[in-house]
Structure 1
Amino acid sequence: MSFDRDSLATAIAAHGPVVRVLVAATAGSAPRDAGTAMLVWEEGQSGTVGGGALEHEAVRSARDMLAAGRATAQRRLPLGPALRQCCGGAVTLVWERFEAGDLPESLPRARPLGPAHEMPEAVARKRDTMRPGAAPALVENWLIEAALPEARPLWVWGAGHVGRAVVSVMAPLPGRAITWIDLAPDCFPDTLPEGVTAIPAAAPAALMPRAPVAADHLIVTRDHDLDLALCHAALNHGFASCGLIGSATKWARFRSRLAALGHSNALISRIACPIGDTSLGRDPQAIAVGVAAALLRSGNKTMTRDRAV
């Protein structure tokens, strides 16, 4: 994770002063990677730095800061000696108290963790070369954090049982911008997960040119003819990956029809069908878990257990 300014601003607007707890560095075995952060306010929290006892101490310290009005704190916690955890490593946590006027105007950001002094050259070089999504860096007691990477687009075509299950599983995961398409507004649930854009469209395939070429697609509509039109449109437009719900029989028929529409076998093979992991079952949630696991396990490049797309 990198510095998520938008989530922090939303939390401040809803809850007032917020303490951001950052895993600034790790050594050895640790519950979460450097760059992981959580937000703590007077009566709640979001996110997790993991570790059970580690998170309990992080939240307790954050609430102490809120009560005392302190701005920052930093501690290196050896997980065994300090917290009686079995991980065997150590975690450096940084606590920062934020209000609306404290949000950084630009990223990457660099700030001293001790008394303020002129920024060292090494810190300025690291800040100026830090790419979005990079882990935080501690240089000469300065903390340097990158901007978030651009969210990877996922377009879900269909808001039936599987479409809803996929969106519910994928929406909470970081780094995803989900666009959800179906025929009419009443196809979608009344409340959408955060970060999901729903688009009702009488002719969904006509929207395919609006999708980024780098998008992943999941085609899970109720209509086989619409599924075919979306596959045809996706092959004409281009995509990072594309998965189609269906059986091996359905896919064999689709391959034949897509070939008749002029697509090469090599291009057609970029679409994955069936999707998910059949060993998990055919329940919509099970399909969604299989799709999500494959995307995460393979660097967001596969929709199925056995086929890269």
Structure 2
Amino acid sequence: MKDIYSEILALQERGEAGVLATLVERSGSGSRPVGTKMLILDNGETVGSLGGGLLEAEVIRHGAEVLESGEPRLVTISPPGGEEDRCGSRTVVFLEPILAGKNLIIFGAGHVGRAVAGMAMLAGFQVTLVDDREEEIGSQVGTDARFLLRSVEHFFADINVTAKTYLLICTRSHTMDLEVLRQALRTPAEFVGLLGSRRKRENFFATLRREGVAEDELQRVVCPVGLAIGAVTPEEIGVAVVAQLIERYRKGSSSAGTYVPATQ
């Protein structure tokens, strides 16, 4: 049991998903008691066991469907042809999806960064704010946010970035934004949001192409970032950006944002 819960925590830290299967009812013979749990990973591997054999294979099959839908399910499994086998004649298993953790790292703790952080935490994101200014890091936006004081060259030091991590770049200058973007593209993050206009995006892309960055890497950059709601203030920008993050999380959308800051 401890190993399963430890793995669940590890899944969330990695930004990955899984399904927790719990044996809630069994009739007939069986090697596992009611309450036995098994964790199904998104690659089909398992932690723990419900007894193996046909039962476990069927649970894993249903688990893949639950992982796809994101909805819990109570399934009843009987042996083929109604014949009782060693796994029991009737088994009921509750399948509970464990959604991937929503991890957002914001580079730049100015007005916009703090506004996005506050809104993102309300939406259930785990937020890390990174800046090189002590006075900005000291501006608290919520007790659940993590604050890191780093020089720009070390913004990504000791930060775990996976393909499911969301990155937002909104530092105080274009020069710093570009440097952070260079570092961000060396990570596996699929969503790299950059605050700014289409002109800023094209200028940055031209520079990065000259530096040898491949086109498929540039396609990970979402700029302008945020949904097109006519946002102007930091708080409105926070709503626009977090709305797009939620859209990505829920739908896996690959469309770029259409928000253009009024000042750029």
Normalising by structure 1, we get a TM-score of 0.52
| 8 Å contact kept, 1:208–1:230 | no
Q: Deviations over 1:5-32 (max 9, x none)?
A: 9xxxxxxxxxxxxxxxxxxxxxxxxxxx
> What residue in structure 2 maps to residue 191 of structure 1?
140
| 8 Å contact kept, 1:281–1:287 | yes
Give yes or no for the alignment of 1:182 onto 2:131.
yes
Deviates more, 1:157-166 or 1:231-240: 231-240
Q: Deviations over 1:18-65 (max 9, x none)?
A: xxxxxxxxxxxxxxxxxxxxxxxxxxxxxxxxxxxxxxxxxxxxxxxx
Cα deviation for residue 228 of structure 1 reads 0.5
Matches of residues 56-135 of structure 1 in structure 2 within 5 Å? 120-121=25-26, 128-129=37-38, 135=71
> What residue in structure 1 maps to residue 190 of structure 2?
240
Identity of paired residues, percent? 22
> What residue in structure 1 maps to residue 58 of structure 2?
none
| 8 Å contact kept, 1:156–1:178 | yes
Q: Deviations over 1:153-172 (max 9, x none)?
A: 21100011110111011012
Matches of residues 133-212 of structure 1 in structure 2 within 5 Å? 135=71, 146=96, 149-174=99-124, 176-203=125-152, 205-207=154-156, 210-212=159-161
Distance 1:245 1:196 in 2: 20
Cα deviation for residue 277 of structure 1 reads 2.7
Distance 1:206 1:126 in 2: 45
| 8 Å contact kept, 1:276–1:287 | yes
Give yes or no for the alignment of 1:285 onto 2:190.
no
Cα deviation for residue 188 of structure 1 reads 2.8
Distance 2:33 2:245 in 1: 36
Query: Of the candidates 183, 208, 217, which is equivalent to residue 267 of structure 1?
Result: 217
> What residue in structure 2 maps to residue 114 of structure 1?
none
| 8 Å contact kept, 1:209–1:237 | no
Structure 2 gap ranges (5+) = 6-18, 42-66, 77-91, 260-264
Distance 2:196 2:258 in 1: 15
CA change 1:205–1:268 in 2 (3 A) is: farther
CA change 1:152–1:281 in 2 (3 A) is: closer
| 8 Å contact kept, 1:208–1:237 | no
| 8 Å contact kept, 1:181–1:199 | yes
Structure 1 gap ranges (5+) = 6-106, 112-118
Counterpart secondary structure, 1:207: coil
Give yes or no for the alignment of 1:225 onto 2:172.
no
Q: Deviations over 1:54-110 (max 9, x none)?
A: xxxxxxxxxxxxxxxxxxxxxxxxxxxxxxxxxxxxxxxxxxxxxxxxxxxxx9697
Distance 2:258 2:33 in 1: 45
- Corresponding letter in the other structure for 1:121: R
Q: CA RMSD in A?
A: 3.6
> What residue in structure 2 maps to residue 35 of structure 1?
none
Counterpart secondary structure, 1:121: strand
CA change 1:173–1:145 in 2 (3 A) is: farther
Equivalent pairs counted in the alignment come to: 193
Counterpart secondary structure, 2:185: helix
- Corresponding letter in the other structure for 1:151: G
| 8 Å contact kept, 1:276–1:305 | yes
Cα deviation for residue 251 of structure 1 reads 1.3
Distance 1:271 1:182 in 2: 20
CA change 1:259–1:209 in 2 (3 A) is: farther
| 8 Å contact kept, 1:243–1:303 | no
- Corresponding letter in the other structure for 2:174: H
